[in-house]
């Protein structure tokens, strides 16, 4: 029977939920808004499968030599609808054209995020674009296995811990499975997202959400929320309180601060990321419309890349240089002391004011440290 003694030891991957033969595991929200397994001991038969498929209990060390590539989709429309270079769509189209199925994260009817699947190109738009909330896997691992057993090709897109959860759940390799993960900063709380949505909506019904609207540029993207009454909210990303709180690690899942999957040697076949720092690496690919940084991690990934090669503009680059401006590729988020303060206060405060207050405290603390440093420096000189 799986027991979560420390919350940082559960990614919420749903592997145990999907594998339980007695369906005695539910995924329930804790007070922060993250899902954890809860076992009905009256139904449990102690088969041990839930522990066997836990990706935290069974970490896999990967030995490979990933290749880093800067690239973007030649299709301007798809590229502009995507967070970065529009590469996910090209890989997905390959799979669907072969009769396969694509799994990814989509908004539900309440604009929370869940995993689902599509088997037609017209519906791929649901999975495009970043979604800065942890997606609920639900039965997706089970569904993916059914398709794999039928012989259909499956592309499963998710965070690195979701890919690890899928692989432990499957318990064997499938030639017809392609795994694509992302360079993940961390996953925010659904409760915090709900709180922010309600604050911005102010009674209006949401009709669309874009966490990374690029009409203001790829590097200066905006969070845009549209409403049924024709009104909309739009805020530049680095000025938006929800994005700032996310980037500053105020409300990520506890496991994100001790992430076991931040590495350049990944279980996925392909890794997708924004190519931050592109101007220092390959300025010829920098037009501020979005460029992807991808890692080719396996032979399957290499084969996919070869098949989409004619549809992209690309350049192979040194992987160490490529991740200089993208530390989330290999370093976990940093646990901040402000996290506890945030969770104690956010329900009863304007989120904009709370985030700005916490950031101001960080600035004052940094200034104090710098002044202390200068005093020591001057003292040593004297």
Whether 376 has a pLDDT exceeding 70, the answer reads no
Torsion of CA 37, 41, 44, 45, to 10 degrees: 140
Grade residue 1 by pLDDT with cuts at 50, 70 and 90.
confident
Per DSSP, what are the bridge partners of residue 104? 116
pLDDT top residue among 149 and 3: 149
- DSSP assignment of 332-375, as one string? PPPPPTHHHHHHHHGGGS-HHHHHHHHHHHHHHHHHHHHHHHHH
Asked if pLDDT for residue 366 goes beyond 70, the answer is no
pLDDT tens column, 4-53:
989 999 999 999 999 999 999 999 999 999 999 999 999 999 999 999 99
Domain 7-52: give its CATH code.
3.30.70
Q: What tens digit of pLDDT does each residue of 260-307 get?
A: 999 999 999 999 999 999 999 999 999 999 999 999 999 999 999 999
96-124 pLDDT, tens digit per residue, is: 999 999 999 999 999 999 999 999 999 99
The residue-averaged pLDDT of 327-345 equals 95
Neighbour-count burial of 230, counting CB atoms closer than 10 A to its CB (0-12 exposed, 13-18 middle, 19+ buried): exposed
Average of pLDDT values for 238-245? 94
pLDDT tens digits, one per residue of 161-192: 999 999 999 999 999 999 999 999 999 999 99
Is 367 a residue whose pLDDT tops 70?
no
Rounded-to-integer distance, Cα 278 and Cα 281, Å? 5
DSSP helix/strand/coil, 138:
coil
- Residue 375's pLDDT band, with cuts at 50, 70 and 90, is low
Q: Where are the domains of the chain?
A: 7-52, 67-188+250-329, 349-382
- Average pLDDT (205-217) is 96
**DSSP letters along 116-133, please?**
EEE-SGGGGGGG-S---S
Residue 360: predicted pLDDT: 85
What pLDDT sits at residue 369?
Answer: 47
CA 208 vs. chain centroid, Å, equals 19
Average pLDDT score, the chain: 94
Is residue 146's pLDDT more than 50? yes
What's the CA gap between 237 and 256, in Å, rounded? 21
Beta strands in the chain (DSSP E): 25-29, 35-39, 67-73, 101-107, 113-118, 154-158, 177-182, 206-213, 222-227, 232-236, 270-274, 292-296, 312-317
Judge whether residue 240 has pLDDT over 60: yes
- pLDDT value at residue 268: 98
Give the model's pLDDT for residue 382: 54
Greater confidence (382 vs 342) lies with 342
Give which of 40, 189, 116, 260 is closest to 17, Cα–Cα.
Answer: 40
Angle at 136 between CA 77 and CA 235, to 5 degrees: 50
According to the model, what pLDDT value does residue 237 have? 92
| φ, ψ of residue 91 in degrees (nearest 5) | -65, -40
Do the beta carbons of residue 222 and residue 236 sit within 8 Å? yes
Whether 373 shows a pLDDT value over 50: the answer reads no
Buried b (16+ CB within 10 A) or exposed e, 4-27: beeebebbbbbbbbbbbeeebbeb
* Residue 5, token pair as written in the block: 């003694």
């Amino acid at each position: 029977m799986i027991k979560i003694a420390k919350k940082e030891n559960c990614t919420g991957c749903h592997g145990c939920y999907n594998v339980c033969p007695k369906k005695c595991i539910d995924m329930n929200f804790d007070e922060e808004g993250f899902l954890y397994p809860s076992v009905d001991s009256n139904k449990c038969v102690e088969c041990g499968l839930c522990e066997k498929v836990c990706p935290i209990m069974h970490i896999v060390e990967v030995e490979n030599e990933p290749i880093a590539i800067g690239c973007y989709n030649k299709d301007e429309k798809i590229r502009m609808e995507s967070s970065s270079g529009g590469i996910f769509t090209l890989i997905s189209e390959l799979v669907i054209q072969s009769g396969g199925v694509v799994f990814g994260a989509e908004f539900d009817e309440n604009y929370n995020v869940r995993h689902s699947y599509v088997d037609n190109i017209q519906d791929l738009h649901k999975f495009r674009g970043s979604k800065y909330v942890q997606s609920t896997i639900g039965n997706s691992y089970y569904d993916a296995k059914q398709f794999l057993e039928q012989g259909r090709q499956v592309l499963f897109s998710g965070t690195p811990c979701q890919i690890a959860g899928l692989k432990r759940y499957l318990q064997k390799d499938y030639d017809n499975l392609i795994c694509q993960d992302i360079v993940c900063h961390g996953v925010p709380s659904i409760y915090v997202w709900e709180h922010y949505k309600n604050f911005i909506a102010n009674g209006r019904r949401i009709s669309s959400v874009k966490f990374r609207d690029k009409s203001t540029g790829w590097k200066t993207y905006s969070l845009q929320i549209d409403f049924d009454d024709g009104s909309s909210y739009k805020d530049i990303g680095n000025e938006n309180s929800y994005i700032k709180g996310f980037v500053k690690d105020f409300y990520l899942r506890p496991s994100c601060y001790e992430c076991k999957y931040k590495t350049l040697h990944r279980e996925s076949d392909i890794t997708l990321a924004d190519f931050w720092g592109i101007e220092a690496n390959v300025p010829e690919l920098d037009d501020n419309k979005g460029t992807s940084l991808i890692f080719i991690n396996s032979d399957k990934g290499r084969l996919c890349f070869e098949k989409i090669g004619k549809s992209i503009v690309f350049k192979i680059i040194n992987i160490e240089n490529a991740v200089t401006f993208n530390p989330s590729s290999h370093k976990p988020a940093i646990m901040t002391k402000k996290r506890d303060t945030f969770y104690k206060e956010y329900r009863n405060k304007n989120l904009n004011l709370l985030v700005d207050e916490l950031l101001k405290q960080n600035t004052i603390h940094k200034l104090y440290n710098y002044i202390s440093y200068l005093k020591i420096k001057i003292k040593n000189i004297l």
